[in-house]
Amino acid sequence: MAVRNISLNPFSHRFLTSFTIFPSVSTSASSPSILPSHRFIRHLHKVAQPVHVPPPTPFVPDLTTFLSLIGRNMMKDRGIEPPRSRRYLLRWRQKFRRGEYGVGGDFDHVVDGVAHLRVIEVARDTTQEKNDNTLTSHDGNDGSQKSDNVPPLTVTGSVTLSPGMKWAVVNLPPGETEPKEIPRPLKRYKAVRLVRGGMLRAPYLKVLKGTNGTAGTIQVQEGMWEDRRGRKIDGGERRQAEVRAKRKSEERKKKAV
């Protein structure tokens, strides 16, 4: 079996063709060399895209609030933090730069870390309603139309909803109950939803008294955006059987005594 002879010299002749000691003094190829004439350097700083600093949001105005939201004791001074915490911080920084926030990160009106949410009635989009009626006007595969002419609830309304209206969630400044101008299209806030008609549901939501669940506040809290880690029970998955066996053995010894 033939064995290839591999050169142990890392600087082969094709890389060190000719060298110059100084730009003004030229030497022969056999003379000692310091600087190569052909430098194989990739200018990565010219190719890489410049990383922009994400602008602050009303819910996250400064770095202290951001570190408090992502949790895991990021506000604690540790010097050189563990690699796991460092990766967690870098991952959340990238998410914040891309606009991927947690609950409350997309609010527009926040005062002293508190955002006010309220459910209001807005007019339905007539164009969308026509498209929905066109899609639901046929029943079955034969293309026959429905025989009943019962109007939908969106036209007749209900006990708590006016005809031609629908519920929507808006973020208002403190002290206001109605928006000055309803934006179109309506903005949907992350993790905020409506249940049972017009009742607010969201993480860390504090419902205001006397509003029947139609208004509430969300305040900045420690660990709101934290990615929760699992909790080891009896030594975790690998040591669980061993730990429990030792515990039972100790209990049996105590009973025998």
- The better pLDDT of the pair 103, 129 is held by 103
Mean pLDDT, all residues of the chain: 77
Would you call 126 helix, strand, or coil by DSSP?
Answer: helix
> Which residue type, as a one-letter code, is found at position 46?
K
pLDDT band, very low/low/confident/very high, at 17 (cuts 50, 70, 90): very low
- The span from the CA of 98 to the CA of 40, in Å, is 35
The two counts, helices (H) then strands (E), for the chain are: 6, 9
Domain positions in the chain? 51-125+154-226
Q: Helix 63-70 vs helix 83-97: angle between axes, to the nearest 10 degrees? A: 120
Q: Give the pLDDT score at 215.
A: 94
pLDDT digits (tens, 9 = 90+) for 140-174: 444 444 445 555 555 666 656 777 888 899 999 98
- Do the Cβ atoms of 86 and 79 come closer than 8 Å? no
Phi/psi-derived region of residue 256, left when phi > 0, alpha when psi is between -120 and 50, beta in every other case: alpha
Percent of the chain topping pLDDT 90: 38
Nearest to 170 by CA among 108, 114, 225: 108
pTM beyond 0.75: the answer is no
Q: Is the pLDDT of residue 20 over 90?
A: no
pLDDT band, very low/low/confident/very high, at 251 (cuts 50, 70, 90): very high
Q: Which of 23-27, 92-96, 115-119, 217-221 has the lowest mean pLDDT?
A: 23-27
pLDDT digits (tens, 9 = 90+) for 35-75: 555 555 556 666 667 777 788 999 999 999 999 999 988 87
